[in-house]
Structure 1
Amino acid sequence: MVESFQEPFQIEGHSLKVTGSIGISIFPDDGIDLATLLKKADNAMYHIKRKGKNNFLR
């Protein structure tokens, strides 16, 4: 998914560079309920954003 953002998007004659930071959690290793899984994925996403963005982390 992160690779899909490497090239700029062309929209109405404008070149837009977009980056993505993705947090990943896996059931049941990281939690057994939706709230826990979302919290862990969210924490991972913000951690990778602080490290430089445009990446992913589990």
Structure 2
Amino acid sequence: MYSYEMHQLRAAELIRRADRRRLVREAVAARRTAARTTGRDAPEGRVSENRGRFARAA
């Protein structure tokens, strides 16, 4: 009986961990989506400001 209870506790812990990881992934995805839709460069996405003054020649 002891091993069965330990198995149940372990299974419940794994389910809780999976739920937490899923929630974190969903939060990160929502944050990325929000960042893409807001800001001054929303249609193009994120634009790097460190390109320098002129475009590089081909």
- Give the shorter-chain TM-score range: 0.3 to 0.5
Decide which structure has greater helix share.
2
Decide which structure has greater strand share.
1
| TM-score with structure 1 setting the length | 0.35
| TM-score with structure 2 setting the length | 0.35
Higher RCO, 1 vs 2 (CA within 8 Å, ≥6 residues apart): 1
Structure with larger Rg: 2
